[in-house]
Amino acid sequence: MKVLFLNGPNLNLLGTRQPEIYGRTSLQDVEVMVRQRATQLQVEIDFRQSNAEGDLVTWIQQSRGIVNAIVLNAAAYTHTSVALRDAISACELPVIEIHLSNVYARESFRHHSMIAAVCRGTICGFGPWSYILGLEAAVNLNSALK
Ligand code: DQA
């Protein structure tokens, strides 16, 4: 089984960016955590970040038929991107929306997700643990499909 993790804008700054909201764990350390759990679960991981909306769209398009699931922290594009929503709809893969912070406890513009309705489910508010829960959700979905 192969899972693609995609990270949107500003997540490259994790660890130093608003640590009171996002914590002090860097994206690299989150990736290490994900890879450790993935090894236990015998899952292959591809882990990427981009600040550019088009990169995320292209990576979702290219993953069709290549990976079994996508775990997506679209960051600010969550709240704005019709392009990402359309890419998710087109890819015919289970996509799991994740966030480090509890977006519902924050500003009202973060309460709406452009992508939630086309994702299999949403995990938010657990810090780096949201990534592990996203991986476990992807594995469970995959075994339920067999
Ligand atoms: C985020 C929440 C978004 O609202 C925000 O724009 C981010 C990070 C999160 O992981 O908590 O950049 O996706």
Q: Are 70 and 62 in contact (CB under 8 A)?
A: no
CATH number at residue 81: 3.40.50.9100
pLDDT tens readout for residues 77-135: 999 999 999 999 999 999 999 999 999 999 999 999 999 999 999 999 999 999 999 99
- The residue whose CA is least distant from atom 7 of ligand 1 is 75
**Number of structural domains found in the chain:** 1
For ligand 1, whether the C-beta of 75 sits within 6 Å is: yes
Q: What range defines the domain where residue 92 resides?
A: 2-145
Candidate list 77, 99, 104, 112, residue with the active-site label: 99
Is 76 exposed, middle or buried (CB count within 10 Å of its CB: 0-12, 13-18, 19+)?
middle
- From the list 22, 79, 111, 112, the catalytic residue is 22
- pLDDT tens, position by position, 43-86: 999 999 999 999 999 999 999 999 999 999 999 999 999 999 99
3-state secondary structure of 89: helix
Per-residue pLDDT of 28-50, as tens digits, reads 999 999 999 999 999 999 999 99
Q: What is the pTM of this model?
A: 0.97
